[in-house]
């Protein structure tokens, strides 16, 4: 099988949206320290870009969660592979995700973080794929782009661990070898 990448959102398009979200976040968190939590590995590119546009105190922590194998279909099984390093009790937390697909990961994570009694908890996702939502208990506070039901890669998102370093977001297309 051959893999071909079709550009869905350009580097410039992403940069403009990151600026806009940073403005919104600064407006909502005036005078507060923001604890940004990134879900590894997909959210890392977005989180560091966003963090650098936020002109106030930001702390970062990272979690790793698995719900996907090396396939494009959710297993529905979610487990915490790496938990937070620092307690978030009393903190203003901004959870940064790469993409919300079925919503299972987010529902699980939200419950896990909420149980630690943060002062506030908001969700920021770069991409939202509402067509495949199973769990609609939780909705994101900040959304970069709403996208159609296609498998996307780049700017942190992978297919079998590859393509995370693309500067844009693309749709992965498969075709038979010639």
Query: Which residues contact ligand IMP (rule: CB under 6 A)?
Result: 42, 67-68, 74, 97-106, 151-153, 157
d(CA 104, CA 89): 24
Q: Is 86 exposed, middle or buried (0-12, 13-18, 19+ CB in 10 A)?
A: exposed
Contacts of 75 (CB under 8 A, 6+ apart): 67, 68, 69
Catalytic residue, chosen from 101, 136, 158, 178, is 101
Least Å distance, CB 162 to ligand IMP, is 11
Does residue 103 interact with Mg ion by CB under 5 A?
no
**Could you tell me the CA-to-CA distances from 138 to 64, 79, 118, 142 in Å, in that order?**
20, 18, 17, 12
Please give the Cα distance from 84 to 100 (Å, whole number).
20
Report if residue 42 touches Mg ion, rule: CB under 5 A: yes
Strands of the sheet containing 2-9, edge to edge, are: 2-9, 169-175, 152-153
Cβ closer to ligand IMP: 92 or 97? 97
**Nearest distance, CB of residue 93 and Mg ion, angstroms:** 17
Residue 67 structure tokens: 């719900």
Question: Based on CB atoms, which residue is closest to ligand IMP, 35 or 105?
Answer: 105
Least Å from the CB of residue 39 to Mg ion: 5
Between 119 and 134, CB nearer to Mg ion = 134
Please choose which of Mg ion, ligand IMP, none residue 145 contacts, taking the beta carbon within 5 to 8 angstroms, the exact cut-off set by kind: none
Q: CA-CA distance, 168 to 5, in Å (whole number)?
A: 10
Active site includes 101?
A: yes
CB nearer to Mg ion: pick between 42 and 140: 42
As measured in angstroms, the least distance from the Cβ of 30 to Mg ion is 29
Residues known to be catalytic: 101
Residues forming the site for Mg ion (CB under 5 A): 39, 42, 98
């Amino acid at each position: 099988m051959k893999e071909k990448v079709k550009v869905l959102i350009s580097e410039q398009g992403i940069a403009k949206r990151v600026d806009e979200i940073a403005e919104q976040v600064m407006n909502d968190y005036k005078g507060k320290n923001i604890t940004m939590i990134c879900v590894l590995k997909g959210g890392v590119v977005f989180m560091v870009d966003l963090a650098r546009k936020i002109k106030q105190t930001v702390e970062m922590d990272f979690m790793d969660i698995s719900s996907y194998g090396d396939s494009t279909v959710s297993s529905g099984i979610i487990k915490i592979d790496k938990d937070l390093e620092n307690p978030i009790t009393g903190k203003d937390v901004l959870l940064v995700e790469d993409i919300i697909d079925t919503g299972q990961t987010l529902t699980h994570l939200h419950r896990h973080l909420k149980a630690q009694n943060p002062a506030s908890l908001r969700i920021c996702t770069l991409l939202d794929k509402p067509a495949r939502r199973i769990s609609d208990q939780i909705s994101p506070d900040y959304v970069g782009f709403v996208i159609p039901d296609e498998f996307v890669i780049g700017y942190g998102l992978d297919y079998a661990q590859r393509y995370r370093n693309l500067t844009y977001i693309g749709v992965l297309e498969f075709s038979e070898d010639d």
